[in-house]
Structure 1
C-alpha cells in the first residue's frame, strides 16, 4: 500500500520534537503525530533576497519544496500586507508585513507542555491563525473544550473546514482577542499566540480560579518573553514568572485593515537642535545584543523601539562614525559615538522630548547591580488596578509598570 507523501515527514517531525525534549507527555506526542501540518498551510509565503515566493502543495513543480518547508521546524508566513510606510526590498518589490503565520512547531510544543492542561479543561486560544494549534488542542482535550478567536474572519473561515477534515468542530470566533470570548467563559487555560504589551483584563476575568494564562508579553527590544500567570482565587488577579522559554509573536492588533499597531507607525520628523553632551561611559560597553539588557531597557524606557550599533552622522566631523543608537515611538533618539575624544569622553547627541541616553546609562548600571539578569529572573502581576513587572519576586523593591508600549 502506498502511503501519502506527507506521512513520513509528519512522523519525522513529531519524533524530532520528542527526541529534542520539546514534547514530553504521551498525550502531546500523540497529538502532534496525528495532526498533519500541511492541511493547515496549503500555501506559504517565503521571503528571499529577490522578493517573495508562494509555495503551494497544488503545484507539482514546487510540491516537494512546499512539503519540506511545511514539515521543517520553522514558522511559516501564510498571510501578509504591504508595509504602511511604503518601504521596499533591495529588489524594488514592496516590503510586506506578515499578518498571520503558523508557529514554529518546537515553540508550540514547549508552550503546550508549559500550559499544563488536564483532561476536560476548557481552553481559550487567542489567535486562531491557520487552525493548526486549535487542532492540537482539540485532539488533546476534545473540540467541545476549545474556543479560538482571531481578528480576521477570513482566517477563521479558512480554519473551520480544515479542522472538519480531521473531525474537529471547536468554537471559532472572529473579533478582538483582547476582549476574550465573553459568553463562552470561564476557562481553565488561556493561551495567546499573539503578543501583548500588558495582560488584557478580560482574560483575567474570564479565567477560573486556579486557571493559567500563557502569553507573549513583549516590547520592541525583547520580544521573546513568555509569561505563565496563575489566578490563585476568586480575585481578578494573576501572577507568575517570565519563563526561560523564548517565543516571539505578532502583535495582537485591534484593526483588521492595518497590519501595524499605533506605536509601529513612523513618527513625524521633529525639527529642532539636538542636545549635545559627553559621557564617561564607553558606548561600546552597552550590550546592545544581550537579551537580558534589552529586556531591562524596555522596562526602564517606555515605548523604546530600537537599540543598535551602526553608523550615525557626526556634524562636527561632517562624516559618519560608529555609534550606539536608541529610538522611541515618540520620535526621540540618541546617538552615542564609540570613538573617544582627546578628553577620553564620548560625544552624545539627543533629539526629541526625552533624553534617552541618560536612561541607557542608568540601565547599564542597574543591569550590573542586578548581576546581569536574564528575562526569566522577572515576573508579572496583573489585576484591575495595577500591572507591573517585578524582579526577584513580587515583594522585592524593583518593579516597573505595564504596558511596555
Structure 2
C-alpha cells in the first residue's frame, strides 16, 4: 500500500470519528482523492514568536511535506496575493491570501449541501481544487463549475485537477458575480467569507435550490449559513460551529487611513464593555448592527488601551475604554456605532444569549436580515 493511500485512509477515519464524514459516498470521495496532488507546489508553515507571525515554506522535497498534506489543517498556499511557497527562502511576514481548507470543514460543507445525483453545482473559490475534485467525484465533471478570482491560483488548480483526471469547468473571475452561463444551479457553495449574499447568487439558483456560504463582518466573527432560494428571496439559518474563511477579496475592509481625533465626539458611560466582544457569538451580534465596522486596539498614554470601532466609509467611530470598574465610550461621525452595537447585544442577552444555530437569515437582492429566537 502506498504511503499516500495509507494517509488518505487515516484521514478518512479521523473525519468519520469526528462526525464530519457521515455518508459512504463522501467517504469514497475522500479515499479516492489524493489531497497531496493539490499541494505539489508546497504550503506555508506558521512560525510564531515574540514578533509578528511568520510563514516558512514546506516544499515537496521536505520529509514533512507529504504527511502534512493529510493533516486536518488549513494549509496556506499563497501570501500577500502573489507569493507562493517556491518563491520564498526563509520566512515571510505578510498575510495569507489563499489556502487549502482543513478537510474536516470541506467535508462538513459537502455533507451540508445534501447533494443528489444530477445536481449542478457552482463553487465560489476554486483554491487548490481539492474540494472541486471531491465534488467531481460525487457528481461528475460536467455538473461542476468553479470560479476563482486569482488567475495563478486557478491555473495551479487546473493542473492538479488534470493530474488526477478531472475536467470541471474552471472560470477566472469575480465569484460574487457567479457564472450565469451554466445557470440555474441546484447548489451554490462558497469557500470564502462574504459580508452579504450577492444578488447574482440568488438569480442563478433554481427555485428550491440552496446556497451554502459563510457570512461575516469586518470584526471577523463568521458563521456558515444554508439558504433556500424561492422567487429571488433566500431564507435559512446559521449552522453553528464557528466556521471561518478568508473574506472574498472584493469585500476586504478598506485601509484605515488617518484615524479620527479621539478627543472629539460625545462621551458617556458604556452599558456594554468592549471585552464582551471577545466572545465569538457576541461579536457576531455586534456585526449584525455594524457589519462594515473594523475593531482596532490603540495604546494611549499611561498604559491605557482604547478599543476603537471604525466605519471608514461612513466616517463613524466609537472609542471604548475602561473607566475604573466600568466602561466609557466616546463616539463621533454621522452615526453612533456603539449605540447600535449596545442595542443589539442588550436585546440578544435579554433573549437568553442564544447560540448561532438559533439565528435565522433572510436575503433579498437589496438587503440581508439576521434574527434569532429566544
Same fold (TM over 0.5): yes
In the alignment, is residue 388 of structure 1 matched against residue 369 of structure 2? yes
The structural deviation recorded for 1:322 is 5.2
Deviation at 1:350, TM superposition (A): 3.5
CA apart distance, 1:262:
5.6
Q: Distance in 2 between matches of 1:353 and 1:220?
A: 19
Q: What are the ranges of 5 or more consecutive residues in structure 2 without an aligned counterpart?
A: 83-89
Task: Pick from 92, 96, 99 the counterpart of residue 98 of structure 1.
Answer: 96
Number of aligned residue pairs: give it.
361
Q: Residues 270 and 352 of structure 1 are in contact (CA less than 8 Å); yes or no, is this contact kept in structure 2?
A: no
1:294 corresponds in structure 2 to 283
Q: Residue 242 of structure 2 aligns with which residue?
A: 246
Q: Quote the residue 2:303 is aligned against.
A: 320
- Tell which deviates more after alignment, 71-80 or 201-210: 201-210
Residue 203 of structure 1 and its aligned partner are, at CA, apart by 1.2
Structure 2 matches for 1:3-402, cutoff 5 A? 3-42=1-40, 43-49=42-48, 51-57=54-60, 59=61, 62=62, 64-81=63-80, 95-232=93-230, 235-254=231-250, 261=251, 263-271=253-261, 273-275=263-265, 277-279=267-269, 281=271, 283=273, 287-306=276-295, 312-313=299-300, 318-321=301-304, 324-330=307-313, 332-340=316-324, 346-392=327-373
| Distance (whole Å) between structure 2 residues aligned to residue 326 and residue 107 of structure 1 | 30
Q: Kindly state the Cα deviation for residue 206 of structure 1 after the two structures are TM-superposed.
A: 1.3
Q: State the distance in 1 between where 2:312 and 2:357 align.
A: 26
Residues of 1 paired with 2:306 and 2:259: CA distance? 21
RMSD of aligned residue pairs (Cα, Å) = 2.6
Deviations 1:302-331 (A, max 9, x none): 412127xx7742xxxx51225554333346
> Given that residues 128 and 156 in structure 1 are in contact (C-alpha distance below 8 angstroms), is that contact kept between their aligned partners in structure 2?
yes
Distance 1:266 1:178 in 2: 24
Unaligned runs of 5+ in 1: 84-91, 255-260, 394-405
The structure richer in helix per residue is: 2
The equivalent residue for 1:399 is: none
* Residue 85 (structure 2) aligns with: none
- In 2: Cα distance, 1:383 partner to 1:311 partner: 37
Distance in structure 1 (CA, Å) of the matches to 2:29 and 2:221: 28
**Structure having the higher Rg:** 1
Counterpart of 2:276 in 1: which secondary structure? coil
- Measure, in 2, the Cα distance between the counterparts of 1:273 and 1:223: 29
Shift of 1:281: 3.5
Give 1:45 deviation, angstroms: 1.3
Partner SS, residue 182 of structure 2: coil
- 2:87 match: none
Offset from partner CA, 1:43-97 (integer Å, 9 cap, x none): 101231363211111x2xx2x21123211110011112179xxxxxxxx976322
Which whole-Å deviations, capped at 9, do the CAs of 1:227-282 have from their partners, x for residues lacking one?
A: 101124xx12211111123321122224xxxxxx4623223333574235341647
